[in-house]
Amino acid sequence: MKRKTNTISTLILGAAVVLGLASCGGNTEKNETTADEKALSGDIKIDGSSTVYPITEAVAEEFRAEQPGVNVTVGVSGTGGGFKKFSRGETAISDASRPIKDKEKAACEENGISFVELEVAYDGLAVLVNKENTWVDHLTVEELKKIWEPAAQGVIMKWNQIRKEWPNEEIHLFGPGVASGTYDYFTDVINGEEGASRGDYTASEDDNVLVQGVSTDKLGLAFFGLAYYEENKDKLKLVGVDSGTGVVLPSQETVANGSYKPLSRPIFIYVNNKAAEKEEVVSFVNFYLEIVPSISKEVGYVPIPNDILAKQVEKFKNFVAKK
Amino acid sequence: MKNMTNAQKNKLIDNAFKVFGIACTFFGLIILAILIFNIVEVGLSRIDWDFIKDLPSRRAQKAGIYTALMGTVWILFLTAIIAFPIGVGAGIYLEEYGKKTKWASLLEINIANLAGVPSIIYGLLGLEIFVRIFGLGGSLLAGSLTLSLLILPIIIVSTREALKAVPSSIKDASVALGASKWQTIWNQTLPASIGGVLTGVILAISRAIGETAPLIVVGALAYVPFAPSSPMDEFTVMPIQIFNWVSRPQHEFAVNAAAAIIILLLFTFMMNGVAVYYRNKWQKKIKW
């Protein structure tokens, strides 16, 4: 009998310890609110693209210092997954690395949700090869299409099929997985149809895997976000893209001024109309637009020019005023 | 080879197999050692008290695992209190009460099969049932219920194994002395097998805390700047935080990920240690 009592008391003790541990930190980080601003409270649920995530996370972090009473949570379900939740009204704001699709729009309408689309930053898609690749100096959009279009599957397997003077060796392709907005965007502008590409390439949702792949494979070719190139400059060779007006290398400048075509894109947040009735959401979005230029730079994206930013602020103001 | 006797040949085969066995053993161990060494080398210096108590941040140096750690602790606790009674109860029923019918053996095969279902499938099930139909949202409770489903088969199977190991002479003696079936189970069978049962439960829960996929499907988040305070709160867990850091472009985040992995490993080792401790403790105690 004694043994049994011991078992039970040990279990209860264990449970108590775990619970105590869990509850001990509920109210640690409470910063003081700035005196001139009204202290807000509430929850703001954000989900969506993993590309936009670093920016939104950073904004949420800064916002917390201003308004510690507002709990902002950010998920990374991907652009498509984020819109699914957004169209059910489960999230207030959706991160997106591409504009909303008609199908997703329809789903929002069905549930009586209207929204506003706000550009928050630019992202360049970089095309990269291995450091030891001596032959590739640039690629034209047509050549990229030749490599990545659906018809290339099982056909374009060697470098000299792209340009005759290039070596008669296999080409190894690396790219983002089909669930990412990055993939959607690339296939849209290069292959002319969203989601259409060859399937026989190494795909990963984790861009670091792509970096690893192309930096260790002399015959590799990859595309992914510019931020990942900038962090791995010593391991990779950047390839300029020619869209008919000369070769342009992606950089903060060429992405911001639009000369790096067609592989630079805006990234967005979408705000739900019902959420925009809440003071804390309005305050958060205004704060977002205010600090996003400096934040984008910090986390490796390209800030949007001031005039376009001003338009977004105006757009959001009108959206809120419409109520 | 030709002028060897049979005995010599057999000895050679014997030795060859021994070498092969040793190689197999060390293969796993060495890979594990390399992995751990690698992680510790990168991450150990990053671990300090701030790392444990800080909130997530875009600055790798400032970022901590506090909310993820708390999420993991909550998930662990809730999963344990949900899965323990249900799993052990089901195990006792199947082993002690259930009749050996065709229906029972079908049930048995299904439970064994469930243990092999990929975890993401449980995530989808959890999303539909707990998140949508029960309306629990992406809460700790929904996550814990999903993980409970995931580990139930493991707990049931290990409970049954532990109960089976109790000699039938003990049960027969108890019944012969006039104890009812329930009295026999509660006073004899369960105390004798509790070490094995608990080991199974703890190992199952250690598996649950490493799971990411089902929790992401259920709606665990990546950035949660507050520790959960009730089972209905939204949450993040350590594996999600680690995954998130690993996929960042900046290398400093990889260091954070390594540090978080060390802590998660410590957590798992600790739980396995507790399991081993209880097993030994209870095994020693049993004297009939």
B155-186 pLDDT tens trace: 999 999 999 989 989 889 999 999 999 999 99
Q: By three-state DSSP, how is residue A99 classified?
A: coil
User: ipTM > 0.85?
Assistant: no
- Exposure string of B38-52, with b = 16+ CB inside 10 Å and e = fewer, is ebbebbeebbeeebe
* Inter-chain residue contact A72 with B137, CB threshold 8 Å: no
Determine the Cα–Cα distance for residues A252 and A126; give it in Å rounded to an integer: 12
Tokens at residue A281, please? Answer: 């959401």
Instruction: Match domain A123-264 to its CATH number in 3.40.140.10, 3.40.190.10, 3.40.50.2000, 3.90.550.10.
Output: 3.40.190.10
List all residues 6 or more positions away from A268 whose beta carbon is below 8 Å from its beta carbon: A52, A95, A96, A97, A98, A99, A117, A118, A119, A120
Domain A42-122+266-321 has CATH 3.30.300.30: no
B-contacting residues in A 216-275 (Cβ below 8 Å): 225, 227-228, 230-232
* DSSP string over B167-217: -HHHHHHHHHTT--HHHHIIIIIHHHHHHHHHHHHHHHHHHHHT--HHHHH
pTM recorded for the entire structure: 0.78
- For residue A25, pLDDT over 50 is answered with no
| Long-range CB contact pairs, A63-67, < 8 A, 24+ | A63/A284, A63/A287, A63/A288, A64/A31, A64/B55, A64/B225, A65/A31, A66/A33, A66/A34, A66/A37, A66/A287, A67/A33, A67/A37, A67/A39, A67/A40, A67/A280, A67/A283, A67/A284
**Mean local confidence (pLDDT), B121-133:** 91
Determine the length of chain A. Answer: 323
All residues of chain A having their beta carbon less than 8 Å from the beta carbon of residue B222 are: 53, 57, 74-76
Q: A115-130 and A236-242 as β-strands: parallel, antiparallel, unpaired?
A: antiparallel
From A23, which residue of chain B is nearest by alpha-carbon distance?
B229
Determine the Cα–Cα distance for residues B36 and B31; give it in Å rounded to an integer: 9
CA distance B10 to chain A (A): 47
B85-118 pLDDT tens trace: 999 999 999 888 888 788 888 888 898 888 888 8
**Which among A71, A205, A227 has CB closest to B249?**
A227
DSSP state for residue B54 in the 8-state scheme:
P
Q: Which residue has the higher pLDDT, B20 or A39?
A: B20
Q: Find the Cα–Cα–Cα–Cα dihedral B186, B188, B192, B194, rounded to 10°.
A: 0
Tokens at residue B73, please? Answer: 């602790």
All residues of chain B having their beta carbon less than 8 Å from the beta carbon of residue A205 are: 247
Task: List the one residue out of A72, A76, A94, A74 whose CA is nearest residue A85.
Answer: A94
CA distance B51 to chain A (A): 14
Tell me, what's the pLDDT at B287?
Answer: 65
What average pLDDT does the structure give for chain A?
85
Beta bridge partners of A223: A127
Determine the Cα–Cα distance for residues B181 and B187; give it in Å rounded to an integer: 10
Q: Does A188 touch chain B (CB under 8 A)?
A: no
Amino acid at B259: A
What is the residue whose two structure tokens read 């032959």? A135
Query: How far is residue A72 CA from its own chain's centroid?
Result: 18
Q: Quick count: other Cβ atoms within 10 Å of Cβ A139? A: 21
**Which among A22, A56, A208 has CB closest to B246?**
A208
- Ramachandran class of B247: left when φ > 0, alpha when ψ lies in -120 to 50, beta otherwise: alpha
DSSP state for residue B128 in the 8-state scheme:
I
From A89, which residue of chain B is nearest by alpha-carbon distance?
B137
**Which among B222, B225, B246 has CB closest to A53?**
B222
Task: List the one residue out of B215, B230, B205 whose CA is nearest residue B83.
Answer: B205
Name the least confident of A27-31, A66-70, A270-274, B31-35: A27-31
**Mean local confidence (pLDDT), A103-111:** 93
* Inter-chain residue contact A57 with B222, CB threshold 8 Å: yes
What average pLDDT does the structure give for chain B?
89
Q: Does A207 touch chain B (CB under 8 A)?
A: yes
All residues of chain A having their beta carbon less than 8 Å from the beta carbon of residue B194 are: 7
From A301, which residue of chain B is nearest by alpha-carbon distance?
B249
Chains A and B form CB pairs within 8 A to the count of: 102
**Which among A72, A207, A232 has CB closest to B225?**
A72
For residue A51, name the pLDDT band (cuts at 50, 70, 90): confident
- For residue A270, pLDDT over 90 is answered with yes
Determine the Cα–Cα distance for residues B224 and B65; give it in Å rounded to an integer: 10
Asked if residue A48 lies in contact with residue A95, where contact means CB atoms within 8 angstroms, the answer is: yes
Residue ranges, comma separated, of all CATH 3.40.190.10 domains in chain A are 42-122+266-321, 123-264
